[in-house]
Amino acid sequence: MEHKDVKIYFSSELLSWYRLIKRDLPWRMNRDPYRVWVSEIMLQQTRVDTVIPYYNTFMSKFPTVQALAEAPESEVLKCWEGLGYYSRARNLQAGAKEVVERYGGIVPDDKASVAGLKGVGPYTTGAIMSIAFNRPEPAVDGNVMRVLSRYFCLEEDIAKPATRVRIEKLAASLIPEGAAGDFNQALMELGALVCTPKSPSCLPCPVMEHCAARLDGRESELPIKTKAKPPRPELRAAAIVLGSGVNAGKVLVRQRPDTGLLAQMWELPHLLLPADKADWLDEKAPKEQGELAELIGRMLEEDTGLLIRPRRWFMDADHVFSHIHWKMRFYLADLGDESGAYAPAAEETVGIAAEAEAIYSVNAAAASEYKAGEMPSVYRWIDKEDMEKLPFPNLFLRILKEFWE
Ligand code: SF4
């Protein structure tokens, strides 16, 4: 078969297959470009099953571009809580504001304008243009690169930008006339359900007859992708500070800065440990680490003026971002008063570790400098109800839920 015919075969078989098996997903209800846009942003790095409930909640809260543009950012982040990669939510809202300001609240039917929106890269541009407006634009992500590398037996490294450009051209040349939206979704669907990364299901695959990788028995070798650097480990120690007096039953949290990783989200106070202290968080290292507890106390005292006494280890947890791996140790901590005495913990079930008395020395002078209301606004006391309202990264939400359960 000639190369041209292999391409025609691929496009027509794939399209027929998709129209037969197409999944009934909430963003496929209609071709509203806003709905397509939100779904494509949510689906980046995230599985369809995970996205569905988030998508439904998000669309019921922010049914239009206008509604999203006008919403408080904290509400948008709260709806995104648990999906991760929070800059996606912030960029989506910034893009919605641009659509309202520049295009009167209507997503423009124009590639350059869509590509210019905040957070919209080449893949999302192609997805919006093809799915919502049926324009013959390719939408190439990792799934599509994998499928096309296998079908055409391409040996270029898909981690290289030049390979992406080449595959985009190839994908554009495959789009059947008048069926851009369905064809691009068909490619994504094939990558998600059949031509999967580890074990492609070649037998039921609609294009298996002319798939070059399968014919060569190389489907598991392709695509070629050089490995990204592993995420850099960061050791962090955190405190779950238990309030006393009017704050009894509450926990101290703080808001992250306006920019950077997890910007403006809430978290439990913690500090980054020097890399040479890696053994402190080692599985076998004693959990009641005196030096570590003291460091946390000192950091919080400097930040808030509060006297904190880490009392006992609570749990370890970790989270991998795309480039950083947070390895965290959480301590339950009590609050000291101005006399240097510590309030009894609000939580009765936890016994006070005898060593904790010894590992933290009280700085009564510093305590007397703290007056009510002087805490930086970035810190606040919250109860379980507040936890439901404020946006927390998954890692901290998990710890807080564990604590309150
Ligand atoms: S035949 Fe196998 S390797 Fe080729 S496209 Fe289909 S699932 Fe992928």
CATH number at residue 101: 1.10.340.30
Shared domain for 211 and 252, answered yes or no, is no
Clarify whether residues 15 and 152 are in a common domain: yes
Who contacts 162 (Cβ-Cβ below 8 Å, separation ≥6)?
Answer: 156
Strand partners, 329: 237, 316
Same domain, yes or no, for 211 and 279?
A: no
pLDDT at 52: 97
The answer to whether 345 touches 332, Cβ cutoff 8 Å, is yes
- The pLDDT, as a whole number, for residue 16 is 97
Whether residue 225 is contained in a domain is answered as no
The CATH number of whichever domain residue 309 belongs to comes to 3.90.79.10
Q: Which residues pair with 267 in a beta bridge?
A: 254
- Ligand 1 pocket test target in 154, 167, 211 with most atoms within 8 Å of CB: 211
The answer to whether residue 224 is domain-embedded is no
Check whether residue 380 and residue 265 sit in a common domain.
yes
211 and 236 co-located in one domain: no
Minimum-distance ligand 1 atom for the alpha carbon of 146: 8
Residue ranges in the chain modelled with pLDDT below 70: 286-289, 337-377
Question: What gap in Å lies between CA 246 and CA 233, rounded to an integer?
Answer: 38
Among residues 221, 242, 214, which one has the least CA distance to residue 330? 242
Q: What is the dihedral of CA 173, 175, 176, 181, to 10 degrees?
A: -160
Distance CA 397, CA 405 (A): 12
Q: Which residues of 72-109 are buried (b: 16+ CB within 10 A; e: fewer)?
A: eeeebbbbbbebbbbebbbbbbebbbbbbeebeeebbe
250 in the same domain as 361:
yes
Our measurement of the distance from residue 343's CA atom to the centroid of its chain's CA atoms, rounded to an integer in Å, reads 38
Looking at the domain assignment, is residue 221 inside a domain? no
Nearest to 55 by CA among 85, 31, 71, 34: 34
Residues 286 and 348 reside in one and the same domain = yes
279 occurs within a structural domain: yes
Q: Which domain-ending residue is among 215, 244, 274?
A: 215
Establish if 223 belongs to a structural domain: no
Looking at the structure, tell me whether residues 161 and 275 fall in a common domain: no
Are 239 and 369 in the same domain? yes
Nearest alpha-carbon partner for 186 in 19, 7, 32, 4: 19
Q: What is the pLDDT of residue 337?
A: 60
Atom of ligand 1 nearest to the CA of 211: 4
Is the beta carbon of 219 within 6 A of some atom in ligand 1?
Answer: yes
Q: Quick check: is 265 in a domain?
A: yes
Split into its structural domains, the chain has a count of 2
Check: pTM over 0.75? Answer yes or no: no
Q: What is the pLDDT of residue 377?
A: 52
46 is a domain residue? yes
Same domain, 86 and 206: yes
* Test site for ligand 1: of 167, 190, 207, most ligand atoms within 8 A of the Cβ: 207
Domain that holds residue 291: 232-404
CA of 47 to the centre of ligand 1 (A): 20
Distances (CA, A) of 284 to 34, 236, 281, 287, 318: 51, 17, 8, 8, 16
At 1-32, the pLDDT tens digits run 777 789 999 999 999 999 999 999 999 999 99
Q: Are 99 and 49 in the same domain?
A: yes
From the centroid of its chain, how far is CA 43?
11
If you take atom 2 of ligand 1, which residue's CA is the nearest one? 202
Q: Which residue has the tokens 């240097």?
A: 340
Nearest to 183 by CA among 146, 145, 136, 216: 136
Beta bridge partners of 157: 224
* Catalytic positions, written as ranges: 40
Q: Is the C-beta atom of 146 inside 6 A of ligand 1?
A: no
- Residue whose CA is closest, atom 3 of ligand 1? 219
Q: Is 202 in the pocket of ligand 1 (CB under 6 A)?
A: yes
Where among 162, 186, 215 does a domain terminate? 215
Please report the pLDDT score of residue 376 as a whole number: 47
Residues of 44-64 as b/e, b for ≥16 C-beta within 10 angstroms?
Answer: beeebeebeebbeebbeebee
Using an 8 Å Cβ cutoff, are 396 and 266 in contact?
yes
The pLDDT value given to residue 15: 97
Q: Verify that 169 and 250 share a domain, yes or no.
A: no
Give nearest CA residue, ligand 1 atom 1: 208
Domain end: 215, 249, 265, which one?
215
Whether 365 is in a domain gets the answer: yes
